[in-house]
Amino acid sequence: MLCYRCFYSSPNYSLIPSPTISNKNKNLVFKTFPFLSSQKPNFTSSLYCSHPPSQIMDLDNKKDQESRSLFDFLSQKAYTPPSWASLLNPIPSHIFSLGHLPTPIHKWNLPNLPTNTEVYLKRDDLSGMQLSGNKVRKLEFLMADAVAQGADCIITIGGIQSNHCRATAVAAKYLNLDCYLILRTSKVVVDKDPGLTGNLLVERLVGANVQLISKEEYAQIGSVNLTNDLKEKLVKEGRKPYVIPVGGSNSLGTWGYIEAIREIEQQVQATTGRIKFDDIVVACGSGGTIAGLSLGSWLGTLKAKVHAFAVCDDPDYFYNFVQDLIDGLKAGVDSHDIVNIQNAKGLGYAINTSEELKFVKEIATATGVVLDPVYSGKAAYGMMKDMAENPKNWEGRKVLFIHTGGLLGLFDKVDQMSSLVENWGRMEVQESVPRKDGIGKMF
């Protein structure tokens, strides 16, 4: 009988086939941790199991339970924090299963890395389809709180192509809640139909109520006052709205990436020492993701140095904002001690230089990984620039880059990117190729 514990202890993840192993269990083994392994299981290697049958049965049952948990999507569960986070306060009582988790990790073969530097990619862009990206993890806690408070609708706010607003609109509909989105846009188009580009298409398809505000009004009034104003209107109409802040970034939302650190710890442990990350790199747009990652890495076993590349505002703003979030959890730690924040906003939030867009194209061509231009694209660009300018700081280190999603944001950049993707042409077919009407079926 195969023991999963012994399976993980093998340096090559190799095992001997046994007639007592069902196809179901073999598939489960192979799929448990494929994304950090470059090899398929080697059936010619020896692996011996010293655990008693009762222990093996317990492990088999545990795996069956994990398999059944795949059907828990959209269910509400009681939440138990990682042991190292048990002193934080308040601790959420429940969580909604909204993401396709755990998201995989794999080696990212970026070109021109410093000597002996390895970069791995945490694919939070694969956390779902309409719900894809880092916002899903925060929404698992925020939507559970909204339901617990008896809300019948959700209010949130962001830019015209906000990934968070799109994810919130979908999550709300999954849970049979209405969604109201306040979207910031240019004063030139604030009185016009916003169209169906990118995130807007999904939001409007799922029936979100979209309300536009100009950047100038947003700057004068602020997100808190705008959402509170809409909340008061809805309350007067007899509704029970629940407000989620920009990016889902409050102390409750921070738990999304505290929990993500536990997930990464488990993935690292499954490598039995083959992988240990020295650094975590991620984009910073509203602050909640870096607060959870840095606090979790600090408190837990990971102890990786977190580097955040800010795509809006300044590092000082985010140090203060992250401090407020972790103070809200009574963490008793200084944000400057747990995260390194660098400026990567370039021309401004959601505005790209031609060099940044060219970088996104080159990385996709070189590695097959498509970065979004607003968040992960700028963060990866900033990381590679820092590696080129300060290679000694990165040499020999294992880096985990968190891909926070946002692919739909690329559709808002098609005009700027069209000159970068001209690899097409009319197919020429030789006259000698046989032709016969009706031979080419079109279905």
Catalytic residues: 162
Distant-in-sequence, close-in-space partners of 226: CB < 8 Å, separation ≥ 6: 157, 182, 213, 218
Residue 153's alpha-carbon distances to 48, 171, 319, in angstroms, are 56, 11, 32
Strands 118-123 and 105-107: antiparallel
Pairing of strands 305-310, 178-185: unpaired
Contact between 319 and 335 under an 8 Å Cβ cutoff? The reply is yes
Q: Please give the single-letter amino acid code of residue 432.
A: S
Q: Which helix (H) or strand (E) holds 58?
A: helix 53-68
- Token pair of 356 as six digits: 């940044």
* Residue positions counted in the chain: 443
Q: Which amino acid is at 313?
A: D
For residues 145, 149, 150, 156, the Cα torsion angle rounded to the nearest 10 degrees is -60
Q: What does the longest C-alpha to C-alpha distance in the chain come to?
A: 77
CA trace torsion 356, 362, 364, 366 (10° rounding): -150
- Comparing C-alpha atoms, which of 177, 168, 222 is closest to residue 199? 168
DSSP class of 433: S
Spatial separation of the C-alpha atoms in residues 220 and 347, rounded to whole Å: 21
**Number of Cβ atoms within 10 Å of the Cβ of 344:** 24
Q: Which amino acid, one-letter code, is at 230?
A: L
What does the block give as tokens for 376?
């992960």
